[in-house]
């Protein structure tokens, strides 16, 4: 049975590495994002690496009108449909402090857009059955911290949504994976001071492929972030509020 | 685009650079850099010295622009971005019957780096150098606009870019002609060579498509120049993916690369091969990239790193000069376990390309106190034999020697000056060697 993957935010480094690995096993790809020229290069690359087909389609989390074309394209492929959500944006907290109107964009990119897309396509996933949804959350969503709590709040909302969607899709044989990456070596973290234990996008993508195979529910990648976050989540609030981690 | 302030080095780690590095992940990000603040391109930094360094300046890391863009399964013409690696090309197209026509000793080398250094492989006599299989290059020069160069379109700029050490601009993409890959394994024959003479005879009598020699640089006297000759042809076994890599987690202590340890290692390495030789089938990845399974093997040389010296000598001086080189190395106590002797043909793709018909010797030299003096003596010997020093490895050449290496230096300098008059793409190496002839 053929496997189609819709990748939202396909130009991100983790999405690209993930798409490559899907391509190498012969899946069909619908690569969606804002930079169409870039998406076309990724589609070419994926085709040459073995994707059954790879199509580039424009997608903007802030423009729900852009969703329909992707869903139509997916409908035309037979077989199981899967979705990977890699969209997101993270302006510096200081910029948000200076201009609170930026919050609308953060919530749109990390929460409203992805959720609205998933909600729209869920009936199709249910109809085909057996599909998988991967949602990229963040360790920042596990606890609000001074450094990026608006972004963290949007991701926390997304985690909660994914949990509910998992509850729903399970009934039709589908599956939802919540992914919480730690620091990953991408354009988002390049040159930022204070990064440690930075994982390569290729290794994060390998973890995703494994999580799909094993139908995991919530994964941290690399795995040790589960323990780091376990500690951070368990610091009592009266201490945590004084920390700046 | 965010610039990262960082300290970085080439594979040898003996020379470091400090400066800002950008790593664009999208073509649009690269275009923005080239419009605002163009900087020389670097890849996986597998050249040993300072070829891929720009101390005090900026550099553009191309490793994330690594997509395959087009491939013609009929003709083998591949178009790819500069950051695509040789290993990736081999492992993607090998199972479909195509491979890079020229494969350097590490699969981590990028397409852009292979062009800029006009690298060679173990089949140089037959296939020539990497640059000879480049159909065209999309180059962004100082003016910021990409232009396609080839032998037909702006041949001087094309030939100054191949082996041109990054001085003409940033390679965005290139079209290269892959070679047929008839199988997934190599039939390898290994034989002990008793001394330099038998080694050189072994090379000249070899009919194999691929040949390479491991040479024991600790041997002296009657054993001087002994080693193992590896000859190989593509065989018909199944293609297999590269094996799992291991990593050297930290810098090794200094005594690891001391003379007694290396002497012992070399002795055992030699004895691995039975006295009457052996034949075996090896996966392509293992044959072409024997060291790639050990990530960061350069850490074995400790925190001070190492230099690599590689020269080529024409056949008429090779025997006497190689003897001299090996004596110097053997006496210095700075010998290395990874030394390579190889025969080269005449093929070269660019004005500054390294290959010439003759014998090439490559040795690692630990970056100890005596290293600079030894390197200077080795450079002297190579040049006195009308040879060439490989700039992709070099960290020590006297700039005055460039003109004695029988390169197309004047034409190169003229072409580079025209393409980049303000020396935007100058690097640590181009300044050290006065490559551009502008100081």
Using the Cβ of B67 and the Cβ atoms of chain A, whether some distance falls under 8 Å is answered with yes
Nearest chain B Cα distance for residue A233, angstroms? 31
- Give the ranges where chain A is alpha helix by DSSP (H): 13-24, 36-48, 67-76, 93-98, 102-107, 113-128, 149-169, 201-214, 225-234, 237-240
Residues 6+ apart with CB under 8 A from B362: B308, B309, B310, B339, B340, B342, B390, B393
Q: Tell me the per-residue pLDDT of A125-162, one tens digit each, with 9 for 90 and over.
A: 999 989 999 999 999 999 999 989 999 999 999 999 99
Using the Cβ of B27 and the Cβ atoms of chain A, whether some distance falls under 8 Å is answered with yes
Mutate to test the interface with B, among A23, A40, A54, A190 (most CBs of B within 10 A): A190
Q: Do B27 and A48 touch (CB under 8 A)?
A: no
**Res. B260 pLDDT band, cuts 50 70 90:** confident
Q: Tell me the per-residue pLDDT of B104-122, one tens digit each, with 9 for 90 and over.
A: 999 999 999 999 999 999 9
Q: Which pair of structure tokens corresponds to residue B100? A: 């890079």
Mean pLDDT for the stretch of residues A29-53 = 97
**Res. B247 pLDDT band, cuts 50 70 90:** confident
Distance CA B97, CA B135 (A): 20
Mean pLDDT for the stretch of residues A39-45 = 98
Owner of token pair 């529910």: A217
Q: Do B25 and A11 touch (CB under 8 A)?
A: yes
Nearest chain B Cα distance for residue A191, angstroms? 4
Q: How much of chain B exceeds pLDDT 70, in percent?
A: 100
Q: Which residue of A has its CA nearest to B1?
A: A187
Instruction: Enumerate residues 177 to 206 of chain A having a beta carbon within 8 A of any beta carbon in chain B.
Output: 186-187, 190-192
Q: Identify whether the C-beta of residue A202 lies closer than 8 Å to the C-beta of residue A191.
A: no
- Identify the pLDDT of residue A164: 98
- Identify the pLDDT of residue B307: 95
pLDDT beyond 80 at B283 = yes
Determine the 3-state secondary structure of B68 from DSSP.
strand
CA B45 to chain centre: 10
Mean pLDDT for the stretch of residues B345-366 = 97
Q: Do B5 and A192 touch (CB under 8 A)?
A: no
Mean pLDDT for the stretch of residues A37-66 = 97
**Res. A218 pLDDT band, cuts 50 70 90:** very high
Instruction: Enumerate residues 40 to 79 of chain A having a beta carbon within 8 A of any beta carbon in chain B.
Output: 41-42, 44-45, 48-49
The class of domain B185-402 in CATH terms is alpha beta
Nearest chain B Cα distance for residue A38, angstroms? 7
Q: How much of chain A exceeds pLDDT 90, in percent?
A: 84
Q: Do B92 and A49 touch (CB under 8 A)?
A: yes
Mutate to test the interface with A, among B25, B89, B138 (most CBs of A within 10 A): B25
**Res. A1 pLDDT band, cuts 50 70 90:** low
pTM of the full structure: 0.95
**Res. A110 pLDDT band, cuts 50 70 90:** very high
pLDDT beyond 90 at A188 = no
Q: Which residue of B has its CA nearest to A21?
A: B92
**Res. B314 pLDDT band, cuts 50 70 90:** very high
Q: Where are the domains of chain A?
A: 3-240
pLDDT beyond 80 at B335 = no
Mean pLDDT for the stretch of residues B386-408 = 96
Nearest chain A Cα distance for residue B292, angstroms? 17
pLDDT beyond 90 at B166 = yes
Mean pLDDT for the stretch of residues B123-152 = 96
Lowest mean pLDDT among A35-39, A161-165, A229-233, B346-350: A229-233
Give the relative orientation of helices A36-48 and A13-24 as an angle to the nearest 10 degrees: 30
Q: Which pair of structure tokens corresponds to residue A222? A: 């690399």
Q: Do B71 and A48 touch (CB under 8 A)?
A: yes
Helices and strands counted in chain A (H then E): 10, 7
State the ipTM, two decimals. 0.93
Using only C-alpha atoms, chain B has a radius of gyration, in whole angstroms, of: 21
Query: Contacts of residue A45 in chain B, CB cutoff 8 Å?
Result: 67-69
Q: Where are the domains of chain B?
A: 185-402
- Identify the pLDDT of residue B251: 87
Nearest chain B Cα distance for residue A190, angstroms? 7
- Identify the pLDDT of residue B141: 93
Using the Cβ of A3 and the Cβ atoms of chain B, whether some distance falls under 8 Å is answered with no
pLDDT beyond 90 at A2 = no
Q: Which residue of A has its CA nearest to B71?
A: A48
Nearest chain B Cα distance for residue A124, angstroms? 32
- Identify the pLDDT of residue A161: 98
Q: Which residue of B has its CA nearest to A44?
A: B69
Q: Do B2 and A187 touch (CB under 8 A)?
A: yes
pLDDT beyond 90 at B263 = no
Q: Do B28 and A35 touch (CB under 8 A)?
A: yes
What is the fold of A3-240?
Rossmann fold (3.40.50)
Query: Contacts of residue A86 in chain B, CB cutoff 8 Å?
Result: none
Q: Identify whether the C-beta of residue B240 lies closer than 8 Å to the C-beta of residue B248.
A: no
Query: Contacts of residue A16 in chain B, CB cutoff 8 Å?
Result: 25
């Amino acid at each position: 049975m053929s496997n189609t993957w819709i990748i939202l935010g396909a130009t991100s480094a983790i999405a690209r590495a993930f798409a490559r690995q899907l391509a190498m096993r012969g899946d069909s790809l619908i690569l969606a994002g804002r930079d169409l020229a870039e998406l076309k290069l990724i589609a070419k690359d994926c085709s040459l690496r073995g994707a059954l087909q790879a199509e580039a389609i424009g997608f903007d989390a802030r423009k729900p009108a852009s969703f329909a074309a992707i869903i139509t394209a997916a409908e035309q492929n037979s077989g199981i449909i899967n979705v990977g959500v890699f969209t997101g944006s993270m302006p510096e907290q200081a910029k948000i402090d200076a201009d609170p109107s930026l919050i609308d964009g953060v919530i749109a990119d990390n929460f409203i857009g992805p959720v609205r897309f998933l909600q729209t396509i869920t009936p199709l996933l249910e109809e085909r059955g057996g599909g998988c949804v991967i949602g990229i959350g963040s360790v920042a969503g596990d606890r609000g911290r001074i450094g990026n709590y608006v972004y963290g709040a949007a991701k926390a909302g997304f985690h909660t949504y994914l949990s509910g969607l998992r509850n729903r899709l399970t009934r039709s044989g589908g599956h939802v994976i919540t992914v919480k990456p730690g620091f990953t070596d991408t354009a988002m973290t390049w040159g930022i001071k204070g990064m440690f234990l930075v994982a390569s996008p290729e290794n994060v993508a390998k973890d995703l492929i494994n999580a799909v195979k094993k139908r995991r529910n919530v994964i941290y990648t690399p795995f040790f972030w589960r323990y780091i976050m376990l500690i951070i989540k368990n610091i009592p609030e009266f201490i945590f509020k004084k920390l700046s981690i | 685009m965010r610039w990262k302030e960082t300290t970085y080095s080439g594979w040898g780690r003996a020379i470091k650079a400090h400066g800002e590095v950008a790593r664009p992940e999208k073509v649009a990000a690269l275009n923005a850099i080239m419009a605002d603040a163009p900087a020389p391109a670097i890849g996986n930094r597998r050249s040993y010295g300072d070829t891929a360094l720009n101390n005090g300046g900026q550099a553009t890391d191309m490793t994330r622009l690594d997509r395959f863009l087009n491939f013609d399964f009929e003709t083998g013409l591949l178009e790819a971005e500069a950051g695509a690696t040789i290993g990736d090309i081999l492992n993607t197209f090998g199972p479909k019957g195509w491979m890079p026509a020229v494969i350097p000793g590490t699969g981590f080398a990028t397409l852009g780096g292979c062009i800029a250094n006009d690298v060679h492989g173990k089949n140089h006599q037959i296939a020539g150098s990497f640059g000879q299989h480049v159909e065209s290059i999309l180059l962004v020069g100082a003016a910021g606009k990409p232009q396609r160069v080839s032998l037909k379109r702006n041949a001087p700029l094309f030939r100054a870019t191949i082996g041109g050490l990054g001085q003409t601009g940033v390679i965005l993409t290139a079209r290269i002609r892959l070679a047929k890959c008839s199988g997934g394994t190599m039939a390898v024959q290994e034989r002990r060579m008793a001394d330099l003479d038998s080694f050189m005879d072994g090379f000249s009598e070899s009919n194999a498509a691929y040949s390479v020699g491991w040479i024991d640089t600790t041997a002296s006297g009657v054993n001087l120049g002994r080693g193992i000759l590896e000859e190989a042809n593509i065989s018909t076994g199944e293609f297999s993916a590269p094996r799992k890599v291991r990593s050297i987690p930290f810098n090794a202590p200094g005594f690891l690369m001391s003379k007694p340890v290396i002497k012992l290692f070399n002795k055992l390495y030699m004895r691995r091969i039975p006295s009457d030789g052996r034949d075996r089938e090896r996966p392509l990845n293992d044959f072409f990239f024997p060291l790639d399974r050990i990530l960061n093997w350069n850490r074995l040389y400790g925190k001070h790193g190492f230099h690599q010296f590689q020269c080529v000598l024409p056949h008429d001086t090779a025997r006497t000069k190689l003897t001299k080189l090996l004596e110097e190395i053997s006496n210095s106590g700075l010998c290395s376990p990874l030394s390579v002797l190889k025969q080269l043909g005449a093929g070269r793709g660019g004005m500054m390309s390294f290959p010439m018909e003759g014998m090439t010797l490559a040795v690692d030299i630990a970056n100890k106190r005596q290293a600079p003096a030894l390197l200077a003596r080795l450079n002297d010997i190579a040049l006195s034999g009308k040879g060439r020093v490989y700039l992709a490895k070099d960290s020590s050449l006297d700039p005055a020697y460039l003109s004695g290496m029988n390169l197309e230096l004047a034409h190169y300098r003229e072409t580079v000056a025209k393409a980049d008059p303000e020396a935007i793409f100058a690097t640590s190496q181009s300044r050290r060697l006065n490559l551009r002839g502008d100081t």
